[in-house]
């Protein structure tokens, strides 16, 4: 089997960057693949390198010193020919080769990507390595509500991505809703960049944190971060409304107002509390759902996390249950960039150890990384419990609310699939209604359909063999790319 690297890392967010840098320090040859135009993932999303000077976004970031150090490490390794950095390459499928025994003859992974640097032209790229580390992060978790399909309704992650990736303030008068601490940086960033933030609706009760205050108390950095956002919001007179939700968006051609309501403890709107707020843009986010597209077909075990998602099961060294396959960051559970960085480092240490190489991190540093992982995971568990999807959220839906936008399947059809068709998970609803069968393949509507039919079980996405739509031209290329991986077009080095 021809190999182009000792390790392929998919995803150049905090987890993948930290993993690649650690593996390079340990002397491995690494291929780092990311579908984005710049390294950094969601947390350190930047404009593409050529546009960075003209689009100032540095003020929106935290921890840039660490980001720059990671970039320098990658650049140095690229210059020495040890790093093959492939930006604008989307991995659509990974297969496992050989007999599957770790380190056994022929074992390893074939990573299929499409090179989109010259979009709309796509070319196939194949990379092989004995070990694979998947750090593909998470998606915004969406719940539908009447009017959520109007132009002007976005995800909070989408609003943040527009800000960080292009300094675009998506609206002039904005309402945010959903649950979780992520609402705060988005509200603060929008307000600081000149948008009027008319309402921040947090569905959870902040007192829920009092049920497990330990992780919060042990994380003073989170307090400080929260206080900074609080100060920015106070300066711009933005009010956070706890136990409140955006229950509908209204408008003709695009959103022009939202209806917000106070919530009872089960999440149902309190009668008589509903009011309208005029806006031109809405951002909604109900936490995140791990992006498991590449991992599910490889057959690794999953486990339940405390936020309603199934995540990849890993051991204390970030090894999945598939030999040679490692995972780091939010595919293993949503917990923020600090956790992702630490998991990336741990995973790379395991890759080095399993391959018989010397460790890259000293004993003390490794102990500190492990302590970070434990502390941040405890915080993530507490966050998941404090910011659940409200039990009664589906009462906000009318029967004609569209749930699956690609196939235009309504909440009424999903309810009927459950009541009349006996569907008890989102896959069965798919068979009965075509939900999740369109362009997004259930990435957007999957968690919502799951919450409608099986709210007490963890959400596991449908297994998809193709993680991104691929052109026939790229598939036609595949045979050649598969035979001559070294002959594929040059990588983009930093
Ligand atoms: C839209 C969005 C915006 C967010 N913004 C913030 C923020 O501003 N602040 C904050 O604290 N947290 C933010 N988060 C939470 C965030 O996910 C961080 O906690 C952190 O970035 C997680 O790091 P990670 O390395 O696990 O994943 P990510 O940072 O998500 O990195 C994953 C990387 O994998 C790449 N990728 C995924 N699938 C493929 C594939 N098939 N082929 C090739 N590449 C692939 C992606 O392009 C991405 O660069 C955001 C999350 C989302 C979904």
What DSSP designation does 277 have?
E
* Any ligand 1 atom below 6 A from CB of 135: yes
Closest protein CA for atom 39 of ligand 1: 136
Rounded distance, CA 174 to CA 290, Å? Answer: 27
Q: In ligand 1, which atom is closest to the CA atom of 40? A: 49
Closest protein CA for atom 33 of ligand 1: 11
* Any ligand 1 atom below 6 A from CB of 290: no
* Any ligand 1 atom below 6 A from CB of 7: no
* Any ligand 1 atom below 6 A from CB of 31: no
Q: In ligand 1, which atom is closest to the CA atom of 331? A: 26
Q: Ligand 1 pocket check: which of 21, 32, 41, 135 to mutate, most ligand atoms within 8 Å of Cβ? A: 41
Q: How many Cα atoms occupy the beta-carbon half-sphere of 147 within 13 Å?
A: 22
CB atoms within 10 A of CB 422: 9
* Any ligand 1 atom below 6 A from CB of 16: yes
* Any ligand 1 atom below 6 A from CB of 288: yes
Rounded distance, CA 149 to CA 164, Å? Answer: 24
Angle between the N-to-C axes of helices 156-166 and 183-192, in degrees from 0 to 180, rounded to the nearest 10: 50
pLDDT for 129 equals 96
Ligand 1 centre from 389 Cα, in Å? Answer: 21
In a structure prediction context, what are the per-residue pLDDT tens digits for the chain, which is 494 residues long?
345 899 999 999 999 999 999 999 999 999 999 999 999 999 999 888 888 888 888 888 889 999 999 999 999 999 999 999 999 999 999 999 875 454 444 689 999 999 999 988 899 999 999 999 999 999 999 999 999 999 999 999 999 999 999 999 999 999 999 999 999 999 999 999 999 999 999 999 988 888 888 888 888 888 888 899 999 999 999 999 999 999 999 999 999 999 999 999 999 999 999 999 999 999 999 999 999 999 999 999 999 998 999 999 999 999 999 999 999 999 999 999 999 999 999 999 999 999 999 999 999 999 999 999 999 999 999 999 999 999 999 999 999 999 999 999 999 999 999 998 889 889 899 999 999 999 888 989 999 999 999 988 999 998 888 898 888 888 887 766 555 444 333 333 33
**Whether 74 contacts 85, CB under 8 Å:** yes
Strands (E), 320-401: 325-327
Six-digit token string for 23:
């593996």
Six-digit token string for 47:
């404009």
* Per-residue CA distances from 54 to 47, 58, 167, 277, 486 (Å): 9, 12, 10, 35, 36
Rounded distance, CA 95 to CA 112, Å? Answer: 8
Rounded distance, CA 442 to CA 439, Å? Answer: 8
Q: Is the dihedral of CA 342, 343, 344, 349 positive or negative?
A: positive
Strand 402-404, strand 409-410: pairing: antiparallel
pLDDT for 301 equals 97
Ligand 1 centre from 41 Cα, in Å? Answer: 4
Residues found in the chain: 494
**Whether 70 contacts 16, CB under 8 Å:** no
Ligand 1 centre from 290 Cα, in Å? Answer: 10
Rounded distance, CA 183 to CA 97, Å? Answer: 43
pLDDT for 254 equals 97
Strand 325-327, strand 131-134: pairing: parallel
Full DSSP string of 177-237 = EEESTTHHHHHHHHHHTT-EEEEEEE-S-GGGGGGS-HHHHT-HHHHHHHHHHHHHHHHTT
**Whether 1 contacts 108, CB under 8 Å:** yes
* Any ligand 1 atom below 6 A from CB of 133: no
pLDDT for 111 equals 96
Ligand 1 centre from 42 Cα, in Å? Answer: 4
pTM to 2 decimal places: 0.94
Closest protein CA for atom 52 of ligand 1: 157
Six-digit token string for 86:
């492939």
Q: What is the H or E stretch that residue 128 is in?
A: strand 123-129
Closest protein CA for atom 7 of ligand 1: 43
Closest protein CA for atom 35 of ligand 1: 11
Closest protein CA for atom 26 of ligand 1: 329
Q: In ligand 1, which atom is closest to the CA atom of 92? A: 41
Rounded distance, CA 90 to CA 116, Å? Answer: 7
Strand 138-140, strand 257-262: pairing: unpaired
């Amino acid at each position: 089997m021809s190999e182009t690297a000792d390790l392929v890392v998919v995803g150049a967010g905090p987890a993948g960057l930290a993993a690649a840098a650690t593996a390079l320090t340990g002397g491995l040859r690494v291929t780092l693949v990311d579908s984005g135009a710049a390294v950094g993932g969601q947390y350190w999303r930047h404009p593409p390198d050529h546009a960075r000077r003209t689009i100032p976004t540095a003020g929106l970031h935290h921890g840039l010193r660490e980001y720059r150090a990671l970039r320098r490490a990658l650049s140095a390794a690229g210059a020495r020919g040890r790093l093959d950095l492939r930006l604008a390459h989307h991995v659509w499928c990974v297969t496992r080769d050989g007999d599957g025994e770790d380190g056994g003859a022929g074992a390893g992974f074939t990573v299929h990507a499409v090179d989109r640097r010259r979009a709309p032209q796509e070319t196939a790229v194949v990379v092989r390595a004995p070990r694979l580390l998947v750090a593909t992060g998470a998606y915004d978790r969406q719940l539908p509500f009447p009017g959520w399909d109007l132009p002007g309704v976005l995800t909070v992650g989408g609003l943040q991505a527009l800000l960080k990736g292009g300094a675009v303030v998506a609206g002039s008068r904005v309402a945010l809703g959903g649950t979780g601490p992520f609402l705060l940086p988005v509200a603060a960033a929008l307000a600081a960049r000149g948008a009027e933030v008319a309402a921040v609706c947090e569905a959870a009760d902040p007192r829920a944190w009092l049920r497990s205050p330990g992780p919060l108390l042990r994380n003073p950095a989170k307090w400080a971060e929260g206080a900074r956002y609080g100060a920015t919001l106070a300066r711009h007179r933005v009010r956070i409304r706890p136990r409140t939700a955006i229950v509908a968006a209204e408008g003709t051609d695009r959103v022009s107002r939202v209806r917000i309501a106070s919530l009872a403890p089960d999440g149902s709107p309190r009668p008589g509390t509903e009011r309208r707020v005029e806006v031109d843009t809405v951002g909604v986010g109900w936490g995140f759902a791990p992006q498991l597209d590449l991992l599910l077909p490889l057959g690794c075990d999953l486990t339940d996390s405390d936020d309603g998602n199934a995540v990849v099961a890993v051991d204390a060294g970030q090894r999945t249950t598939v030999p040679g396959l490692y995972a780091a960051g939010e595919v293993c559970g949503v917990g923020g960039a600090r956790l992702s960085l630490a998991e990336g480092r741990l995973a790379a240490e395991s890759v080095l150890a399993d391959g018989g190489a010397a460790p890259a991190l000293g004993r003390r540093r490794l102990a500190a990384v492990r302590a970070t992982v434990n502390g941040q995971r405890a915080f993530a568990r507490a966050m998941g419990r404090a910011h659940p999807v409200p039990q009664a959220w589906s009462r906000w839906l009318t029967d004609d609310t569209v749930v699956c936008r690609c196939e235009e399947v309504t909440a009424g059809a999903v309810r009927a699939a459950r009541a009349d068709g006996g569907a008890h998970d989102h896959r069965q609803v798919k068979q009965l209604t075509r939900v999740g069968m369109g362009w997004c393949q259930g990435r957007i509507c999957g968690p919502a359909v799951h919450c409608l039919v099986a709210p007490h079980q963890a959400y596991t996405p449908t297994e998809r063999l193709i993680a991104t739509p691929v052109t026939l031209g790229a598939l036609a290329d595949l045979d050649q790319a598969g035979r001559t991986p070294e002959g594929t077009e040059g990588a983009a080095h930093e």
